[in-house]
Amino acid sequence: MRALMKIAVLMLIILLLIACSQSNVGSNGNADDGSLSDFIIPVPTAPGINVERDDNASIDYSNIGDGYVIVEYSGKSENPLKVVLTAPHGEVYVYALSDGGFSEIIPITEGDGEYTIGVYEHLGGEDYSRVIAITANVVLKDGFLPFIHPNQFVNFTKDSELVALAAELTKNAKDTEEKIAAIYNYVVNNFTYDYALAASVQSGYIPDLDDVLHKKEGICFDYSALVTAMLRSQGIPTRLEIGYHGEEYHAWISKYCDINGWIENRYHYDGNEWYRLDPTEESGDRHSHRSRQNARDDDTYHLMYNY
């Protein structure tokens, strides 16, 4: 649990996968045959059909089969609030929750099975007090849905500036690979690493993605969440993945390919050779003159969490 909460403090590396040319998702969440028809961004809702609640907190799991629940704490809390999700194979995810009625979209990212989701007050140290909790047996309507919907870490709406930019960048794309290349190259060529933010970032930091667009700079978490959101807004199933690179936490991105499934080796074929792609490294290398091959030669990546 403590390890997960270090995500926003530690420097993260993004590894964008561009390994095939046909992988869009239709408006129903199903991967289609490469059609570039307009994708309708799904809007998470809390219809109140299946809800666990008390006087202050609520967990709306009406759409859990679509890959998310919506959690809200309408009262006031003197202690920090957390949403703790335990996945079918024991993976534990921890999310921040604000009081005062601000809802959070919590993704269901570890496939079908039994999930326990609870709202907790953090009393200090390792001490937590449970407010409410549910246990649900989840059967996802489609395995892609959690990686198309927005969530707390990959937060966007149809009105987000990043969505409009992704559409503009990809309007002439002939296939999915061209869409990914357009978004990737834009970030690499226009964004710089924010060393001041990296030195001062506080625990619990979650990027405002449109703000990242305006500043055109950020830490690795910013890069990762932004690229993931832009790809999802184009109907490309994309996982924000977090784990260890060596002894440090990092983040990278996987995308879905109809032919090969989830591409997890983090490589891109340029017509002659396969390379590792890292937007953060490549963007920074334009300024630091470090070798880009550094980001392509290292396979010491160990996945822990999907978002």
- Are the beta carbons of 228 and 238 closer than 8 angstroms? yes
Q: What is the pTM (predicted TM-score) of this model?
A: 0.82
Q: Residue 234: which of 305, 151, 173 has the closest Cα?
A: 173
Residues 190, 123 within the same domain: no
* Pair 61, 26 in one domain: no
Show Cβ contacts of residue 261 under 8 Å, excluding neighbours closer than 6 positions.
none
Write the CB contacts of 229 (distance below 8 Å, at least 6 apart in sequence): 150, 154, 155, 156, 160, 162, 163, 209
**Whole-angstrom Cα distance, residue 296 to residue 290?**
13
- Ramachandran assignment for 169, one of left (phi > 0), alpha (psi -120 to 50 degrees), beta (any other): alpha
- Name the residue range of residue 280's domain: 2-42+148-306
110, 87 contact by CB (below 8 A): yes
Q: Which of 126, 141, 156 is the last residue of a domain?
A: 141
Q: Do residues 136 and 171 both lie within one domain?
A: no
The CA distance from 60 to 53, in Å, is 8
3-state secondary structure (DSSP) of residue 289? coil
Q: Among 108, 141, 174, which residue terminates a domain?
A: 141
* Alpha carbon distance 222, 14 (integer Å): 10
Return per-residue pLDDT of the chain as tens, 307 residues: 333 333 333 333 334 333 333 456 655 555 554 444 578 999 999 999 999 999 999 999 999 999 999 999 999 999 999 999 999 999 999 999 999 999 999 999 999 999 999 999 999 888 999 999 999 999 999 999 999 999 999 999 999 999 999 999 999 999 888 888 899 889 878 988 888 988 888 878 898 999 999 999 988 788 889 999 999 999 999 988 887 777 766 777 776 655 545 555 444 444 444 344 445 555 554 444 343 344 444 567 788 899 9
231 and 122 within one domain: no
Residues 129 and 188 in one domain: no
Residues 134 and 183 grouped into a single domain: no
**Domain boundary pick from 141, 169, 202:** 141
Beta carbons within 8 Å of 184's beta carbon, 6+ residues apart: 16, 18, 227, 277, 279
CA distances 151 to 21, 107, 115, Å, are: 26, 6, 17
Are 166 and 65 members of one domain? no
| CATH number for the domain harbouring residue 187 | 3.10.620
